[in-house]
Amino acid sequence: MMRSIGTLTRADLAETINRKMGFSRTESLALVETILERMCHALSEGENVKISGFGSFVLRDKKERIGRNPKTGIEVPITPRRVMTFRASQKLKDRIAQTG
Summarize pLDDT for 26-47 with one digit per residue, the tens.
999 999 999 999 999 999 999 9
User: What CATH number should be reported for the domain whose range is 48-100?
Assistant: 4.10.520.10
pTM of the model: 0.77
Give 47's DSSP letter. Answer: -
Q: CB within 8 A of 43, min separation 6: which ones?
A: 49, 57, 59, 84
Instruction: Pick one of 3.40.50.620, 3.40.50.300, 4.10.520.10, 3.40.50.1370 as the CATH number of 8-46.
Output: 4.10.520.10
d(CA 23, CA 17): 7
80-93 pLDDT, tens per residue? 999 999 999 999 99
CATH 4.10.520.10 domain position(s) in the chain: 8-46, 48-100
- Identify the bridge partners of residue 60 per DSSP, sorted by sequence position: 83
